[in-house]
Amino acid sequence: MRLLLLSLILLAAPVAAAEPMPTLLGNTAIHDPSIIVTDTGWASFATGVERAADGGTVRTKSSPDGITWTETGALPGGMPAWVKKELGFLPRNIWAPTVSMHGGIAYLYYSVSSFGRNNSVIGLMTNTAFDATRPAEGWEDQGLVFRSRRDDWLNAIDPFRIDVGDRAFLAFGSYWDGIRMIELDPTTGLRKGEEIPLRLASRNGEAIEASTIVEHDGKFYLFVSFDACCKGLASTYRIMVGRADTVEGPYLDRDGKAMLDGGGTELLASTGRYIGPGGQEVFDVNGAPWLVFHYYDGDAGGTPKLQLAPLGWSADGWPELGALP
């Protein structure tokens, strides 16, 4: 009970130091989580189940406090009809959604592809009456935001939206040339202009994905996952970070190496039963940035599970994480 009360206190107030991560309860099985916190509670969105009866659509969970989680089902309607027409095949599931609130509207970006291919699309759904207690309800699909093709040296998966002033941006990418970014129309949430996507980070074709960006004290921090996901106990995912003066970069790691040249400062790697942490995203709790990620539980045969972490900051302005549960 004492640990639970401590966790509730941590969830209720912004933090500056790296506080311990809370122990989560209930249904925490998840992959590629995204979290939103509203006055109606907490909700998570995640990669769909392959070849499920629901069409592999985005899975949701709900929580009143960020501690105890309940499964609330998949988004109804199956795979959006435009996806098969655009890609030329019926995908197994929807990947790595990201949810955020802008101007009272909830925006849910998602990606659809197949393993090892970059014939991929990013789509958008919106919700004008989002309720965290019923997170699967009320979504309207807005169609294609961006796509990549087999002859492109980029991959349109793992989207993340960040608004800076009156502008909005979408970071995305995986393998190939790494992490890219496009500008969005802040209101429609769709792509603004046709400029070549800006390069943010690369490992020259090696594993880098799951980008997320947060602004802190006038600096921008780009979090990514290096190495291999989706292999259960053999997963080698690890969370890396770099910093820039503007959202467009250039992002450098703590040693000054450019993330476009493979740089990145390790924030979290496999520790004990927490195997392959990654698929991370930054979200807001009462004005303070938190990190959500999945890991493969070494005590549960490699089942992917949810973990939340308040971000702390070092004296020289680098993000830190507290102790795992």
Known catalytic residues are 32, 209
Tokens of 205: 């074709």
Tokens of 299: 């005590």
What single string gives the DSSP state of each residue in 235-281? ---EEEEEEESSTT---B-TTS-BGGGT--EEEE--BTTEEEEEEEE
Residues 61/43, Cβ–Cβ less than 8 Å: yes
Handedness of CA 200, 202, 205, 206 (dihedral sign): negative
Q: What angle do CA 229, 318, 184 make, to 5 degrees?
A: 65
Q: Whose CA is closest to 206, among 228, 232, 230?
A: 228
Q: Whose CA is closest to 182, among 199, 205, 202, 204?
A: 199
Measured distance CA(18)–CA(207) in Å, rounded: 28
> Helix, strand, or coil here: 234?
helix
| Strands of 68-74's sheet in order across | 25-26, 68-74, 59-63, 41-46, 34-38
> Helix, strand, or coil here: 138?
coil
DSSP-assigned letter for residue 152: S
Measured distance CA(249)–CA(296) in Å, rounded: 31
